């Protein structure tokens, strides 16, 4: 690819991205995987006009995510684990990108020009707590994204020298879940906002670890960090905080 072609591909990348994210949001891939059909069949199942459905499906064929044979569409086997179902499925992550993050990035120039977040902030310039609905969506998204990271951390770091792990801002508890699964001597507590904790408990229960991993709601910036833990884990936290908040949080550890 020439430099010119690379730049064109970069500049137009949002076309591909938005089409793919929309297909995820409409559950197109799961619908097709459960029963391959024509554009008309898919349109009926997702509640869209046939013409616009055909355009969307053909764009996914062009990207290689869908295959088309005898007017019927199929999900390419390479992508099934990631867009349909299973432990590696990332559909929740793509839903969050489409519903929560895509629009703010459209305002990227505004954020740079006015030196302020494009999301709502409180009077002290901290991000407002997300709603329970949005918080659950983000937590589901980060769980699917971070499961491989959690497995890798547990394989590379020797948690056997510790007894009590504190997962700060742990979301779904994915780091704690992988750590205690790999190290039977370990107990853990996950801290996060009260709107997130119900989702955390659901994931922990699904893994059968409710007796080993506890969940505690907390504002870890404004409240003291609980004592009695010999290892702290942070994942996807600091990039969401101001510099002074990062320093404060590290001093608490």
* pTM (2 d.p.): 0.74
pLDDT of residue 125: 47
Quickly name the fold that domain 93-252 has. Answer: Rossmann fold (3.40.50)
- C-alpha span between 178 and 159 (Å, rounded): 11
- C-alpha span between 68 and 37 (Å, rounded): 10
pLDDT tens sequence across 65-102: 999 999 999 999 999 999 998 777 889 889 988 988 88
Domain 3-83 has CATH 1.10.10.10: yes
- C-alpha span between 10 and 201 (Å, rounded): 40
Q: What is the four-CA torsion angle of 140, 146, 147, 153, rounded to 10 degrees?
A: -150
pLDDT of residue 141: 81
For the chain, the structural domain boundaries read: 3-83, 93-252
Same fold, 3-83 and 93-252: no
pLDDT of residue 124: 47
Asked if 212 and 180 count as a contact pair (C-beta separation under 8 A), the reply is yes
Asked if 46 and 28 count as a contact pair (C-beta separation under 8 A), the reply is yes
């Amino acid at each position: 690819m020439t430099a010119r072609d690379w730049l064109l591909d970069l500049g137009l990348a949002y076309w591909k991205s938005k089409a793919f994210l929309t297909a995820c949001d409409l559950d197109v891939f799961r619908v097709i995987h459960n029963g391959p059909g024509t554009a008309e069949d898919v349109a009926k199942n997702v509640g869209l006009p046939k013409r616009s459905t055909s355009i969307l499906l053909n764009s996914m064929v062009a990207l290689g995510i869908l295959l088309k044979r005898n007017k019927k569409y199929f999900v390419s086997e390479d992508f099934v684990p990631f867009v349909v179902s299973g432990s590696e499925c990332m559909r929740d992550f793509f839903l969050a990108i489409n519903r929560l993050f895509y629009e703010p990035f459209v305002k990227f120039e505004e954020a740079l020009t006015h030196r302020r977040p494009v999301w709502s902030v409180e009077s002290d310039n901290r991000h407002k707590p997300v709603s329970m609905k949005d918080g659950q969506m983000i937590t589901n998204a980060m769980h699917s994204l971070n499961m491989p990271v959690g497995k890798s951390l547990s394989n590379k770091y020797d948690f056997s020298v510790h007894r009590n792990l504190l997962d700060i801002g742990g979301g779904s508890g994915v780091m704690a879940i992988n750590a205690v699964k790999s190290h039977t001597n370990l107990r853990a507590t996950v801290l996060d906002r009260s709107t997130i904790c119900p989702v955390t408990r659901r994931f922990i229960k699904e893994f059968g670890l409710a007796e080993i991993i506890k969940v505690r709601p907390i504002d870890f910036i404004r409240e003291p960090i609980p004592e009695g833990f010999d290892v702290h884990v942070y994942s996807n936290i600091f990039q969401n905080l101001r510099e002074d908040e990062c320093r404060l949080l590290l001093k608490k550890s």
